[in-house]
Amino acid sequence: MRQIHFSAWLLVGLSAILQAIIFPLPGVYVLSWFALAPLIVALLRARSTGELEVAGSVRLSPATPGQGFLLGYACGILWYAGTCYWIYDTMRQFGGLSTPEALLALFLFSCYLGLYHGFFGLLVSLLAGSARDYRRPLVMAPFLWVAVELARTRITGFPWNLLGIAQVDNVALCRIASATGVYGISFEIVLVNVALAAAFLVPREKRFPLLAAALAAAAVLQAGRLVEAPPAKADHAALLVQQNIPVSFDWTRPGSLQQTMNELTELTVKSAAESSAAKIDLIVWPESPAPFFTNDPRFRDTMSELARDTKTWNVVGAIGTSSSAAVGGQTSPLYNSAALISPSGEWTARYDKIHLVPFGEYLPFPSVFSFAGGLTKAVGEFQRGTSRRPLDAGDARLGVFICYESIFPDEVRQFADQGAQVFVNISNDGWYGDSGAYAQHLNQTRMRAIENNRWLLSATDTGVTASIDPWGRVVAQIPRKQRAALVAPYALTSVTTFYARHGDWFAYGCAIISLGALLARFTLPGKPLQKSQKG
């Protein structure tokens, strides 16, 4: 078997770098139209045939399936390490790992999730075959990519930074997400990348028209960022409290918990009273590193009094326990929860987080990953919730989800499908430190507003705390790492989008088409894009 040509490795490295920088930070979104093209070219021009092109250069052929997997896998490892680099710092600071152990954790994480890029490379190579048949893999690449993204979401459960998220600020293009979810945007991006890659796979005399068409398509689609969406009307106002409590705060100091509750309560009451906007009808406290337990009488009394003083519905992040358990939850299962408190001070409902963070909220395969248990101990060994039913807050139905649940398109849309009129995401992004992860998380949260045509209230411990309209625009926010309260405009919406009703139909369609193409590859003869030319 001929070895992979060195140029293919260079293209793989270039693609990994481009894929990393299209997400924040630095977030050079325009490069998303070109980020995958080098990888596609590398897969289809990976091996030297020993022949020469007309111009005297070495003729290159598609990678074998094994080589395709290896090229894609290398790209995936580099991309995950470049875009999820914050895992290293999180595991080192809060997971109790040494520097070498934290680096190893990041490397193993990247090796695991990089498998999906490897599968993409494998599938493209299978469709290409040993001949220079470029048409089939090029036509199918967008379908294959979306199918792999769906697998990453459903199988691994970590759809962080799906490709379409890079265009979250593209108002015109993002309208398709209300029908297809973010996967439709990923499809469009890969389609343009395929057109660009094709320009470097055809004879040189045909290259300019294809290259011009690809660049024109990228320019037209990118121009959607210049489109101004109409103002989104808001007739309600919420107060989002950004607590700014450090993850490493020492709660063993006498009186620290009560002092914190008093300070946050004072801030909340004062901010609600001073609001010059419409009457505050909802107050939200975020997911917090504070040991707030739903069965702690001090905490319950404080929050009930706050609700009565402000005459407002309250959503508060807390550690959920059964009412009969001892304070601290020692005799009861623990949940990462959001409690709903009525204006009369009654605790009326609770959402328990369903999709927990591995190594952060539970430890998968404890016997294997015991070395990474420090982070879990710092947060808690939580149990999974069971219901995504919206919480009824008077005349409003709240779709409440917690932290990184916002990165799962199909899970969030279920709240809208069950009647949620506004989304509320409470989060503690303090675990990410000052890395770009908080901005990556915000963009993914914004996409959920677009897909479901809902206002979304994002209340975080350290920021970004924001009000997001149904176009995905941040219409109000407060600076990170400040203790403050945001008066957040929003509106209630009962219209359900096609995506909210039908979920990942588009992604599953791409997976079925991909499977059909793979079956046809081995049952129907293919024709190469061009005839072999010898120099």
Q: Is residue 374 within a helix (H) or strand (E), and if so which, with residue range?
A: helix 373-379
What DSSP string describes 100-112?
HHHHHHHHHHHHH
Q: How far apart are CA 248 and CA 243, in angstroms?
A: 14
Structure token pair of residue 180 = 């297809």
Q: Is residue 465 within a helix (H) or strand (E), and if so which, with residue range?
A: strand 465-468
Give the up-direction half-sphere exposure of residue 58: CA atoms within 13 A in the CB hemisphere. Answer: 13
Q: How far apart are CA 83 and CA 35, in angstroms?
A: 14
The answer to whether 467 touches 455, Cβ cutoff 8 Å, is: yes
Instruction: Quickly list H helices, 35-181.
Output: 37-44, 65-83, 86-93, 99-113, 115-128, 135-151, 171-174, 177-180
- For residue 224, the 8-state DSSP code is G
Q: How far apart are CA 371 and CA 361, in angstroms?
A: 15
Active site annotation includes 403: yes
- For residue 39, the 8-state DSSP code is H
Q: Is residue 8 within a helix (H) or strand (E), and if so which, with residue range?
A: helix 6-21
Q: Which of 260, 323, 320, 310 is nearest to 284 (CA)?
A: 310
The answer to whether 216 touches 192, Cβ cutoff 8 Å, is: no
Q: Which of 236, 183, 161 is nearest to 454 (CA)?
A: 236
Structure token pair of residue 521 = 């590859």
Active site annotation includes 205: no
- For residue 326, the 8-state DSSP code is P
Active site annotation includes 353: yes
Q: How far apart are CA 168 and CA 400, in angstroms?
A: 22
- For residue 472, the 8-state DSSP code is S
Q: Which of 75, 84, 174, 403 is catalytic?
A: 403
The answer to whether 418 touches 386, Cβ cutoff 8 Å, is: no
Q: Which of 287, 361, 405, 451 is catalytic?
A: 287
Q: How far apart are CA 84 and CA 156, in angstroms?
A: 16
- Amino acid identity, residue 379? V
Q: Which of 75, 353, 361, 510 is catalytic?
A: 353
- The C-alpha angle with vertex 420 and arms to 415 and 423, in degrees rounded to 5, equals 80
Give the up-direction half-sphere exposure of residue 1: CA atoms within 13 A in the CB hemisphere. Answer: 10
- Greatest Cα pair distance, the chain, in angstroms, is 86
Q: How far apart are CA 482 and CA 246, in angstroms?
A: 11
Backbone angles phi, psi at 150, to 5 degrees: -65, -40
Structure token pair of residue 251 = 């709660």
Q: How far apart are CA 276 and CA 487, in angstroms?
A: 9
Active site residues: 287, 353, 403
